[in-house]
Amino acid sequence: MSENEFIREVNDEYRRDRLAQIWSRYSGVFIGLAVLVVLGVGGWRYWQHAQAQQAEAASLRFEEALRRAKDGTPEDAEKAFAGVAAESPFGYRLLARLRAAAEAGKADPAAGAKAYAAIADDTAVGPALRDLARLRGALLLADKDDATALNTLQSLAAPTSAFRHTARETLGLVALKKGDVEGAGRWFDQIAADRETPAGLRQRLEIYVGLVAGGPVQVVEAAPAAPAAPPPPVVPDAPAPAPAEATR
């Protein structure tokens, strides 16, 4: 055996001894880590399975609530969606809350706006969906000239807002309804200047601009209609007219 082979054999033996010492000292730790890994993977798989079952059950309850919304009253639909929101994972819970607010708004706009406000104030909801809730709640009360709703629409009409197109259109129509032609024109000008305005809104904008150009609408009270002529008097027992003589 050469010197190099002897040195390699000694090094191999030394490494085997060191590994044996490490295993005898830390074998319990290694086994514990292996058990933890197995338990962790098993727990993760079980959690995924439980989440899938909950999502499937929530989907069935949500579909049932949709059927009740289609066939029943808004009150029944609101209760059904509220039940889904109380017992479902986050995604279905949020969808159910939005639908419950929409159904509540059909019967009572103020109640629907309050439900949307609760979603908008929930910090667990993403910013885009919170803005959507603000928009839907404001739209329920915009026609009632509600100051809070109009302020919300104005904040959503900012250039960086994803819902600025709907907010600007609504504010312009509200101003036009109140006879504020100049205010309506300013909102419609913002819609026209925005390069990202949807094509459908641009088509409606032509009508809005025409209404603004026409100025305030003056409603004139119609004159009362003239009374109808009285029917001719009926003469009782009047003799029947003689028949005309037949021509020969």
- Helix/strand/coil (H, E, C) string of the chain? CCHHHHHHHHHHHHHHHHHHHHHHHHHHHHHHHHHHHHHHHHHHHHHHHHHHHHHHHHHHHHHHHHHHHHHCCHHHHHHHHHHHHHHCCHHHHHHHHHHHHHHHHHHCHHHHHHHHHHHHCCCCCCHHHHHHHHHHHHHHHHHHCCHHHHHHHHHHCCCCCCCHHHHHHHHHHHHHHCCCHHHHHHHHHHHHHCCCCCHHHHHHHHHHHHHHHCCCCCCCCCCCCCCCCCCCCCCCCCCCCCCCCCCC
pTM of the model: 0.64
Q: If pLDDT is split at 50, 70 and 90, which confidence band does 6 have?
A: low
- What pLDDT sits at residue 219? 43
pLDDT in tens, 61-113: 777 777 877 777 777 778 888 877 777 777 888 888 888 898 889 889 999 99
- What pLDDT sits at residue 37? 83
Q: Mean pLDDT over all residues of the chain?
A: 81
